[in-house]
Structure formats: structure tokens, C-alpha cells
Structure 1
Amino acid sequence: MTGAPWMRCHETALLALILRRLVLNYLSDSNLYEEFKTLIVEYRTSHAEDKR
């Protein structure tokens, strides 16, 4: 690999943001975004007790 290690971190972060946007656009286009948000809320609620 070439480049500084911090550059790889920036590239990875950018890739993650691009993939996130693609997934959210797909969910929105497929009318699945609201269901996805509900699943995220349910997951966070059920795992919030794990943090206590």
C-alpha cells in the first residue's frame, strides 16, 4: 500500500459515507426507509439495557 496511514483512514471513512448514502437511497427508493428506522429504534432500545 502506498500513502500515509492517515490517508487510508480518510479513504475508509469516505467509502463508508458513500456506502451509507447508497444504502439509504436504496431503502428510500424501495419504500423501506421507515421500516429500517423502526428496526434501528427497536434495536437501540433493546440494547440500551446492555450499556447499564
Structure 2
Amino acid sequence: MQAISTSEQIKARSLARLIVEALIDAANRQAISDRSAFLDNHTLAGLSLIPL
């Protein structure tokens, strides 16, 4: 394995920040009774965005 470049680390952190912000916004828009179900639903929704 090679070292991860600084620019790739910055991109990964930026992406992680966007994901957390989106999850917080989604959680604030709806009542959550089951955290696991909430995360599962959002994970499944995001899978369609991943190019295969």
C-alpha cells in the first residue's frame, strides 16, 4: 500500500463532512424512532449513487 496523499485526505474529509451534514439535516426533518432503520434506509438510498 502506498501513502495517501494530502489532497486525497482533504477530499475524503470533505466528503465525510458533507455526508454527516446531510444525515443531520435528514434527521432534523423527520422523527426517528429507530436509529438503525434510519441509517439503513439512507444507506440503501445512497447505494444507487455508486457507479458500478
String of CA shifts for 1:1-52, please: whole Å, max 9, x gaps: xxxx800000000001100000000000001773x817817x86xxxxxxxx
Structure 1, unpaired ranges of 5+: 45-52
Structure 2, unpaired ranges of 5+: 33-37, 48-52
Q: Does residue 1:26 correspond to 2:30, yes or no?
A: no
Number of the residue aligned with 1:14: 13
Which of the pair has more CA radius of gyration? 1
Number of the residue aligned with 2:41: 37
Higher helix proportion (structure 1 or 2): 1
Question: Share of identical aligned residues, percent?
Answer: 8
Q: Which has the higher contact order (CA 8 A, sep 6+)?
A: 1
Q: Give the aligned length.
A: 38
Runs of 4+ in 1 over 6 A off after TM superposition: none
**TM-score, with structure 1 as normaliser:** 0.54
| Aligned-residue RMSD, C-alpha | 3.4
